[in-house]
Structure 1
Amino acid sequence: MKTFLIDDDNLGNYLTEQLLRIEGFSNTIQTFESAQEALETLQQCATETPAVIFLDLNMPIMNGWQFLDALVPYESRLRGRCRIFVLTSSLALADMEKAKTYDLVAGLIHKPIDSEEIQAIRSQLEDEDIV
């Protein structure tokens, strides 16, 4: 399973990537510190889209919401093949409600992500036959 990790926090990326590897979550993890770079990569990989995208909301230049908005033209191609989990350190109820308005968003996770959340996501993906 291919996974994208999009977060401008280098240390956070390293820790999340290590945890995903320890948990055996994904055989391919591609990390991006820029949502724009991740979007360009996603637009180019027409045949092998990631099954999971972990997306931080608060990033410079293009934030997580802007990334999700930019994916709208690709929703039909991604639906059923790619699930997005929003990563945030915010506890704002508005963020949780806004995340629900995006079809591709499967959930909102408070950082830092932990083993239990990874296992729950894996279970959810197996139930949806994405993995």
Structure 2
Amino acid sequence: MKTYLIDDDHLAIFLARHLLQSEGFSNTICAFQSAEEALAELLTHEREGLPRVIFLDLNMPVMNGWQFLEALTPHADELRGHCHIYILTSSLALADLEKSKHYQLVDGLIHKPLDRSELRAIRARLEPGAGAS
């Protein structure tokens, strides 16, 4: 499964990548410290090359997670069912959870740090039978 990590924090990417690898969650992990770079990469792929999962930080300079989601809105029909976005945030604001529900491509909001139980739950949703470990 191909996975994108989009976060401007080096340490967050390092820890998430390590967890994804140790859990065998993904065979391809692409990390981006810029939402613009991730967006450009995402929009150049055909359906077969799309990441199955995107872990998206909200608070980033220049283009934040919300702006990234807005930029994907015109492509929602092409991405739906193929690309599952999980927002990663350190915020405990309920407003973020409510706002995330307005984006069709967002499958969930996860409070940082990402943990094994969350990964296993996501894998179970995407690949029935794979979450039993």
User: Whole-Å Cα distance in 2 between the matches of residues 6 and 101 of structure 1?
Assistant: 20
1:126 to partner: Cα distance: 1.9
Work out the CA distance in 2 between the residues paired with 1:44 and 1:81: 15
Residue in 2 aligned with 1:27? 27
C-alpha distance in structure 1 between counterparts of 2:54 and 2:94, whole Å: 22
Shift of residue 125, structure 1, vs aligned partner: 1.1
State the SS of the aligned residue for 1:5: strand
Q: Which residue of 1 aligns with 2:55?
A: 54
Which residue number corresponds to residue 90 of structure 1? 91
Query: Residue in 1 aligned with 2:81?
Result: 80
User: Who is 2:43 aligned against?
Assistant: 43
Structure 1 residue runs without a partner (length 5+): none
Could you tell me how far apart the structure 1 residues matched to 2:64 and 2:8 are? 10
For residues 51 and 89 of structure 2, the distance between their equivalents in structure 1, rounded to whole angstroms, comes to 20
2:16 corresponds in structure 1 to 16
Structure 2's unaligned 5+ residue stretches are: 129-133
Q: Aligned partners of 2:80, 2:117: CA distance in 1, in Å?
A: 25
Query: Take 1:76 and 1:46, find their aligned partners in 2: how far apart are those partners?
Result: 13
Structure 1 Cα separation of the partners of residues 43 and 127 of structure 2? 25
Instruction: Write the distance in 2 (CA, Å) between the matches of 1:118 and 1:13.
Output: 15
Distance in 2 of aligned mates of 1:88 and 1:97: 13
What do the CA deviations read for 1:16-65 (whole angstroms, capped 9, x no partner)?
00000000000000000000000000011124110000000000000000
Question: Equivalents in 1 of 2:73, 2:24: separation in Å?
Answer: 30
Q: Corresponding residue for 2:105? A: 104
The aligned length equals: 127
CA distance in 1, matches of 2:40, 2:115: 28
Find the aligned partners of 2:73 and 2:96 in 1 and give their Cα distance: 18
- The question of 1:126 aligning with 2:123 is answered no
SS in structure 2 opposite 1:71? helix
Identity %: 62
TM-score by length of 1: 0.95
